[in-house]
A and B are shown apart, each in its own frame.
Chain A
C-alpha cells in the first residue's frame, strides 16, 4: 500500500481508480464506498427528486427513465444535459454530454430555454469570487458547445455509434453524461425477430455498463411504455421486455396521476421506492412547490466540492 499511496500522489484519486481497474487489483469495500461518494451525481433541478436519488443521477451507473409519450422523459434528459455542465464551484461536475437522439425529439429551441434558465439561476445565486468567475464562462454559448448531438435513424446506427464511443470518449475526457433518447424507439421498429432483439439488447446493456464504469460517466437511457395483458386487465409496463429490465441500476418511472406528474423510483440499490411530484415549466424540469418568481430561487442542495 506504499505503492498505492505513491500512485495516489502522482495520479490523483481518479487516476488511481483507473489504474487499479485496469490491473484488476482487489479493492476494499471501504475504498469502493469512498469512490462512489466521489463519483458524484448530476442534479435534476428538482430538489425533491435529487433528495430521493440521494443527490441526483449517479455517475458511473446506468439509469433508465420510462414513461408514456409526452410525460417528460426528453425534458428530463435535456435538463440533465445542461445540469452536468454546472461549474465545480457550484458543486456541479463541469462535464460535457453526448446526446444520442433516435426519435428526433431533440429540439434546439428547447435546449436554449433550459440552458438560459440554468444560467439565470446561477447568476443570481453566485456568492463569492470563485463562483462569479465561473459565471464568466458559464453562458449559453459554452453550454451549447459542450453538448455533442448524435442522430441515429435506426438501431444499426445506434449500435454503430456505441462501437465508436470508447474512442470518442478517450479523445473527450470531459464527458460525464451519455443520454440515449430513446432506446425503445429504434429497437421496436424493423426488428421482428424478438430473440435477436433480446440478444442485441443484452449486448447493448453490457456495453452501457462498461462505458459507465470505465469512463466514469452517468448513462441515462429512456424507454417507452407498452400495454401488457395480465388476468384480462391491461397494465402499462416499460417496453423491451423483462430481460431489459436488468440493464439499468436505477429505474425512474414518469407517469400521470390525474393532473399531476409523478416521478417514481421503482428500482434502485440505494433508495427506497419513493415518488415525487414534478412539472415541466418553460424553464425545464422542476419541483412543484418551487416559487414562480426567480427572486427566491430554490437551490438544489449540492455540497461544495473540496478541490
Chain B
C-alpha cells in the first residue's frame, strides 16, 4: 500500500462525497484569479504562494508586501476569499432538506442499544469529538468495542456502512472480548435480519493500531488514518485512551507543553472528523475533583475527566460512565450496574441511564414509567 503523507491538510477533492465544483484552494496560480494584471504582478513579486497564505495575513501585511493601495488589497482579499469558500451560506431549512451533502445532516451513529440511543437522541454525532470518561472497570472499552461493531451496519440499521480504526494506547487490544461480542451480535441486534448480520465480517473491519507514545500516535493519525478514511474503509476513530499518553509523558511543570501537544492532537482529530464526516470517540480517565473547583459544572460524582480545561474545550460531547454497587440480572446473567451520563452536549440535556454489561454487550436498562 502506498504511504501518502499529508502535511497538515487533506486533499478534499478526492473525497467521494464532494460535489463536483469543489476547488483545491491550497495552491493557486495567480493567473487563474479574476484580478487586474496590476494586482497579479504585485502578487508574483511576493513570496505568497496560495490564496490561503494571502488570507492568513492581516490586511496591513498584505498591503506592505504587495505595495498595493488599500482598495486593491480589499479587492484581492475578496477574490481570494471567494475562492477559499467551499459554498455560499445555506439556510437551515435547506440543510434540513438535505440540500448540502457535506454539511450537518443530523446523521447519527447508533450505539446498538435503543435505550442508550434514546439518551443520545440517535447516537454519536458524525462530526466532532465525543469523549467517554470514567474510572477503570466502568465499561468504557466495552462500549467502544460495541460501537466499533455498530458502525459496520448499513445506514438503515443505524451504522455508517464502514469499519472502525481502534487506536490503543495502554493495554493490548481485548481481542477475545471483541470475538465474543461478534458472536453474540444476533442477540444484541435482534431487530436486524440475521442475513444482514451474517453478511458482515466484523473482525475484518476493525483496524487495530497500537500507539505507545505521542510520536507514534501522530504518525498513525497523519498517515494511516487518512488512507483508511479516504478509501471508505473506516468511518469511526476510537482512541483508547487519550489520558494515558498525555499524563505519563509530562511532569506537572510541563503543563504548557502538554497543552500544546493536546491541541495538536485534537486539531488532527477535528480535521479528520470534518474532512471525512466521521465520529471520533476518545476514552478518557478520571481524577479526583478538587474541593472548590466547580468551573466545569456540577458533578454527580467525586471524579472529573482528566486533562483539564484545555482538553475539555476540544470536546463537543462529554459522556461519563460510572460504576455502582448494585447488581442487575437478566436471565442467567448478572452484571454490576453502571450509569452512563451526558455531562454536556449541544443538543442533549444532562441526563443518565442505568446500564448493564452483558455477554452480548452494553445495554441500557429501560426506564420504567
A residues with CB within 8 A of B: 68-71, 74-75, 98, 103-111, 113, 141, 144-151, 153, 155-157, 159-161, 163-164, 167-168, 184-185, 188-190, 196, 199-200, 202-203, 224-227, 236, 255-259, 280, 282
Contacts and interface: CB of A to CB of B under 8 A. Distances in A.
A190 B265 CA distance: 11
Contacts of B85: 157, 160-161, 164
B225 interface: no
A104 B347 contact: no
B13 interface: no
Interface string B88-132: 011111111000000111100000000000000110010110000
A147 B94 CA distance: 10
A141 B93 CA distance: 7
B59 to A, nearest CB: 6
Chain B contact surface mostly: mixed
B22 to A, nearest CB: 13
Contacts of A282: 349
Interface stretch (B35-43, B183-191, B291-299): B291-299
For B8, B270, B271, B347, which residue has the most chain A Cβ atoms within 10 angstroms?
B347
A196 B58 CA distance: 8
B197 interface: no
B52 interface: yes
Contact of A103 (B80, B128, B267, B344): B128
Nearest to B76: A163
A282 to B, nearest CB: 6
Contacts of B315: 69
Contacts of A110: 346-347
Given A106-B104, A109-B106, A70 B96 contact: no
Contacts of B96: 108, 144
Contacts of B263: 188-189
B21 interface: no
Nearest to A96: B91
B215 to A, nearest CB: 19
A144 B91 contact: yes
Nearest to B271: A153
19 contacts: A104-B128, A113-B347, A144-B91, A145-B91, A145-B92, A149-B89, A150-B89, A153-B274, A159-B81, A163-B81, A164-B82, A184-B313, A189-B263, A190-B267, A225-B313, A255-B295, A256-B298, A258-B294, A259-B298
B92 A161 contact: no
Contacts of A107: 104, 106, 125, 346-347
